[in-house]
Amino acid sequence: MNLAEYKGVYVFAQQVDNEISGIAYELLGKGKELAAKLNEEVTAVLIGHDVKGLADKLAEYGADKVIVVDDPELKEYRTEPYAHALSSVINEFKPEIVLVGATAIGRDLGPTVSARVATGLTADCTVLEIGDFPLVAIPGKEAEQKHNQLLMTRPAFGGNTIATIACPDNRPQMATVRPGVMQKIEPIVGAKANVIEYNPGFTPNDRYVEIKEIVKAVSDTVDIMDAKILVSGGRGVGSPENFKILEDLAEALGGTVSCSRAVVDSGWKPRDLQVGQTGKTVRPNLYIACGISGAIQHTAGMEESDIIIAINKDEDAPIFSVADYGIVGDLNKIVPQLTEAIKAAKANK
Amino acid sequence: MKIIVCIKQVPDTKGGVKFNPDGTLDRGAMLAIMNPDDKAGLEAALRIKEQNGAEVTVITMGLPKAADVLREALAMGADKAVLVTDRVLGGADTWATSTTLAGAIRNLEYDLIITGRQAIDGDTAQVGPQIAEHLGLPVISYAEAIEVKESSVVVKRQYDDRYHMVEAKMPCLITALAELNDPRYMTPGGIFDACAAEITTWGRADLKDVDDANLGLKGSPTKIAKASDKVRKGAGEKVTPDSPEEAVSYIVGKLTEKHVI
C-alpha cells in the first residue's frame, strides 16, 4: 500500500428516502476543517437511486466535489450494494480519510467497508484532529514519528474512558462519527456541486438481502437532537399518561420531550426520543431530567448540555453528579407548578 | 441446523462502575459478565433450537478465564463451546479480532452465525459485520426479531426511525440487540452439566486461512495514541426544598439568572 497515493477527505453523505440526513452536513463541516489542515479537498459520496438532485445541497454545506453512485439496487439501504458502492469508490479514488455517521446505517456500512478495503475503523468518534503519531516522538526515533495523521477520539466503557486512536499504516483512515457532535457550516446559498458520476456495476448475489416490508415509526415530533430545550423523563415519571405534565412543561418553555432508555424499554415512548449511549446524543441549552436516575449510559448522551437541571426523589441518584442544579423532590408535585410559574413569568414580560 | 453464537466476557458497567482513589477505572473490582447483546443472541439461538431443532455452538476469544462465560452459555442450553486463546492474539482491534474469529469459525459447520450488536466495554458494533465480511456472508445488523424458514431467515432490522423486514439466505450472520428477548437463567442441572462439560480450546495454530500479519496487537491497523479515564463533569448545586413551591421558585430563579425565561 503506497500511503502517499491516498488524498482527500471523503464523507459518506447518508440519505434516507432521498432526503439527506443531518449527519452528512455535520461530517462535511468537520471534513472541510480537516481538509484545510491537510491542504486537500472534501468530497461527499452520495449513494442511492435518483439522488443526483441532492448534490447541490451538499455543495452548499461545503463539499468541493460530490461523487454520485446512482443505481436502482441502491434505492433502500442494504449492506451489500452500499458496501460495494463505497468500497469501489475508495478503491477507485483513494481517499486519505473516510468519515461515516455512527447511525444505524453507518455502524453497519462502516465495518463492512473497512474490512473489505482492509483498513482500520474507529467507532463513534466525538473529536477528530490532525496531528502526530505517536503524539510525542520516541527519543532516538524522531524520524519514525508520522505527521498529518487523523487522530480519532472516542468514549468507551459506557462513556467512562476516552481513547485517542490513529491508523498510521493503512489507508484510508476511517471513522464513524457520533451524530450531534460536529458542527455544520453556515450554508453557502446557491453553491453548485462539482459532480462526478461513478457506477461500479451491481450484480445481485446471495449477499443482497431482500427487503420484504418497511415500517416507518409514526412521529410528528421535533428531532430531539435539534431541540434547544429538552424536558426528559425517566422511569420515575411513573406511567405513559403522566408524561403529559412533562409535555406541558416543554410547551411552556418552547422545548420538546425526550426520555431515558427505561421509558422506551417499557413501551411508554418511541425510540427516536431516547437519549443516551444506545439512543441519541443531545446538547441542548437546557436539559431538565425528571425522574431519571442517570446511569452512565444515559449521561453519556446528555452531559454536554449547557445547563442541566435534575429533579429526583432519590437524593443519591447519580444524575445529581452531572446536574448543575439538582432538586431532591417529587416531580409530580414540582413539574405542574413549575409549568404554571414559567407561563406566569413569560406572561409578565 | 447449526448455529454459532459469538460471545464476549466484559466487565459489568451496570452494577456500578468502580473508580480507584485517583479517579481511574478499577476494572478488577467489577464483575465479569456475558455481554448483554451477546446473551440476547444466545437466547435467540436457544429458542430456534427449541422450535426447529438446532445444534448451538458458542465461541469466544479472550483470556483463559473467558471460559466462565462459555460455561454459563452451556448451562443455559448451548451444546458445544470453543475458547480461542493465545498470547499472540492479545491487544487485537476489531479488524484483528474479526480475522481471528473468522479463522476459528472456518473450522466449524454453520447455517447461521449470531453475534451481539456491540459489547458494553468497546461499544464499537464492528466485529459482527467484519466477521461476515471475512467469511463472505450476508449480514443483517441490529436484529429485533428473528424467524427461521426453510433455507432463509427473516429478521426485523431496526433503524433510527423505522424497521425493515429483511430476508436473507443462509448461511448468514445476524447481530442481535439486547431488546430481542429476555435471556433465560441457567438451570441447576445445566450448571452441573456445564461444570463437567468439555470446552474446546484453540490457539493460533488452529485458525484457518489467516495471516500472522493480521493478528493481535501487531496486526491491528488502529493504534491507541492516548487513553485516559474521562474527566467527569463535577456536580453542581443540590438542594432539598421543603415544599414544591420552594422548589419551583428555586428553578425559576436559576432559569431567570441564565436568561432562559
CATH number for the domain that contains residue A281: 3.40.50.1220
Do A180 and A327 fall into the same domain?
no
Burial class (CB in 10 A: 0-12, 13-18, 19+), A267: exposed
> For the segment B191-203, what is each residue's pLDDT rounded down to a tens digit?
999 988 999 999 9
Contact B248 A334 (CB under 8 A): yes
R_g of chain A, CA atoms, integer Å? 22
Whether A324 and chain B come into contact, CB under 8 Å, resolves to: yes
Burial class (CB in 10 A: 0-12, 13-18, 19+), B65: exposed
Return d(Cα B38, Cα B29) in angstroms, integer.
22
Check residue B20 and give its pLDDT.
65
Q: What value does the mean pLDDT take over residues A124-137?
A: 95
pLDDT above 90 (res A246): yes
Check residue B16 and give its pLDDT.
58
Stronger pLDDT, B258 or B35, i.e. the higher one: B35
Residues 218-237 of A with CB under 8 A from B: 219, 229
| Number of residues in chain B | 261
Check residue A161 and give its pLDDT.
79
CB atoms inside a 10 Å sphere around CB B235: 15
Identify the CATH assignment for B2-214 out of 3.40.50.2000, 3.90.1150.10, 3.90.380.10, 3.40.50.620. Answer: 3.40.50.620
Residues 10-69 of B with CB under 8 A from A: 11, 13-14, 17, 25
Contact A307 B244 (CB under 8 A): no
Could you tell me the residue range of the domain that residue A287 belongs to?
224-347
Confidence class for position A257, pLDDT limits 50, 70, 90: very high
pLDDT above 90 (res A64): yes
Helix and strand totals (H; E) in chain A: 8, 18
Whose CA is closest to B53, among B1, B108, B3?
B1
Strand arrangement of the beta sheet that strand A195-197 belongs to: A121-125, A173-177, A97-101, A9-12, A42-48, A65-70, A195-197
Q: What value does the mean pLDDT take over residues A228-237?
A: 95
Check residue B17 and give its pLDDT.
64
Task: Give me the residues paired with residue A246 across strands.
Answer: none
How many A-B residue pairs are in contact by the CB < 8 A criterion?
259
Strand arrangement of the beta sheet that strand B55-61 belongs to: A210-216, B162-169, B152-158, B139-148, B172-176, B112-116, B2-6, B55-61, B80-84, B200-202
Q: Is the distance from CB of B42 to CB of B71 less than 8 angstroms?
A: no
Stronger pLDDT, B214 or B15, i.e. the higher one: B214
Please indicate, yes or no, if residue A207 is contained in any of the structural domains. Answer: no
Check residue A221 and give its pLDDT.
57
Q: What value does the mean pLDDT take over residues A167-196?
A: 94
Whether A130 and chain B come into contact, CB under 8 Å, resolves to: no
The full set of domain ranges for chain B reads 2-214
* CATH number assigned to the domain comprising residue A114: 3.40.50.620
Q: What value does the mean pLDDT take over residues A204-209?
A: 96
pLDDT above 70 (res B18): no
DSSP secondary structure code for residue A131 in this structure: E
Whether B130 and chain A come into contact, CB under 8 Å, resolves to: yes
Check residue B15 and give its pLDDT.
55
Check residue B154 and give its pLDDT.
98
How many angstroms separate the CA of residue B54 from the nearest CA in chain A?
23
Residue A129: phi and psi, rounded to 5, are -140, 165
Stronger pLDDT, A297 or B247, i.e. the higher one: B247
Residues 29-88 of A with CB under 8 A from B: 76-80, 83
Check residue A346 and give its pLDDT.
85
Q: What value does the mean pLDDT take over residues A79-104?
A: 97
Q: Which three cell numbers stand for residue A188?
A: 453557502
Q: Which of A154, A182, A197 is the last residue of a domain?
A: A197
Domain count of chain A? 2
Return d(Cα A193, Cα A187) in angstroms, integer.
13
Residue A188: phi and psi, rounded to 5, are -90, 100
Write down the ipTM of this complex. 0.88
Check residue B22 and give its pLDDT.
59
CA atoms within 13 A on the CB side of B44: 33
Do A106 and A190 fall into the same domain?
yes
